[in-house]
Amino acid sequence: MSDLPDKHVSVLGATGGAAGPAGEFAEGARDAPESAADRRRRRAQFLRDLAEARELRARVQPRRAKAARLRHAMRMRTFRR
């Protein structure tokens, strides 16, 4: 199972955006184009959640996290000259 929420969960509902308390879009919000600021805000929230999930995974599974760090380091060394 993935650590990410299901697709039907509204991201805007958690941040107080266009979604109402039931996670439904407000009237006309679906037709209105998304502003650049809204997109950046949602992206920043997503990246914060992703970083938090990675930190949690690293704490819960330290051996796997260490192996992932070592693999990443080997990949980075491959491209150095």
Distance CA 6, CA 27 (A): 23
Q: Which residues pair with 50 in a beta bridge?
A: none
Exposure of 72 by Cβ count < 10 A (0-12 exposed, 13-18 middle, 19+ buried)?
A: exposed
Residue 25 has pLDDT above 70, yes or no: no
User: In angstroms, rounded to a whole number, what is the distance separating the alpha carbons of residues 6 and 8?
Assistant: 6
Q: Give the pTM.
A: 0.44
Per-residue model confidence (pLDDT) at position 46:
98
pLDDT digits (tens, 9 = 90+) for 27-75: 555 667 889 999 999 999 999 999 999 899 888 988 988 898 899 999 9
**Per-residue confidence (pLDDT) for residue 14, from 0 to 100:** 46
Complete DSSP assignment for 49-60: HHHHHHHHHHHH
Q: What's the DSSP call for residue 6?
A: P
